[in-house]
A = this chain, B = another copy of it.
Amino acid sequence: MSEDRTLIAERPTEGEDIPPSHARILDAAERVFARDGFSGAGMKAIALEAGVAQGLLHYHFAGKDGLYAAVIARRSGLINAARMTALARVNLAAPDALEQVFAAFAGPPLGPEGGGVDYARIFATLVVGDARDRDLVAEHYDPVARAFIAAIQEAEPRADQALAAWAYSFALGALIGIVARDQRPERLAGQAERETSEAVLVKLVAFSAGGLRAMLPPP
């Protein structure tokens, strides 16, 4: 694989100076969209949460759809950048290359740039949503997804593209589930305290890599 791995560096930070209300609106929108869903979230509620007038949301983002897309664009940019950085550090020839790839994939959403439970809920509804949602996923997530599928094939040459893509999809579902679902795994496990992100990441990485190896055709 010789394809350029740096093609994703879309605007890590905007060049022009943007007013501080811009980011505060995005923060508020992320919280309200996560709590109430796209349709349930009101522009009035978002404006109240951000401490600005409702009209300002339309002035900056040209409507509710634009605001929603901006929330996705900002967070996916942060996650994509962190994922590609982590992927570039993976030693694809190591015995645990597969584990390293899945760790690079699952780490950022669990980290500080991932947006936590709020964005995971937004992403969970996004990834199962309608045509508009599907376009947003294809635009903001498909390129990095293909890079990781290619990396999986390099780390485990016995896996063809289809097998790698299916394992990627399974791992993504498992990841979304545990980030977005508030302590149901702990409840079912009979654990009183919440697991740390690091402990969850270790479990998820082992599960994903082992799952993929179990899908391989017999030798």
Chain A residues engaging chain B, CB cutoff 8 angstroms: 35-40, 120-121, 124-125, 127-130, 134, 137, 142, 145-146, 149, 161-162, 164-178, 180-182, 184-185, 187-191, 203-204, 206-215
A204: nearest residue on chain B (CB-CB)? B170
Asked if A137 contacts B184 (CB within 8 A), the reply is: yes
CB distance from A192 to the nearest CB of B (A): 11
Asked if A169 contacts B146 (CB within 8 A), the reply is: no
Asked if A149 contacts B211 (CB within 8 A), the reply is: no
Asked if B127 contacts A181 (CB within 8 A), the reply is: yes
Asked if B210 contacts A180 (CB within 8 A), the reply is: no
Asked if B211 contacts A146 (CB within 8 A), the reply is: no
Asked if A161 contacts B178 (CB within 8 A), the reply is: no
- A203 touches which one: B134, B172, B176, B215 (CB < 8 A)? B215
* Cα separation A187 to B169 with both chains bound (whole Å): 11
Interface centre among A129, A149, A161, A204 (most CB of B within 10 A): A129
Contacts of A214 in B (CB 8 A): 206-207, 209-211, 213-214
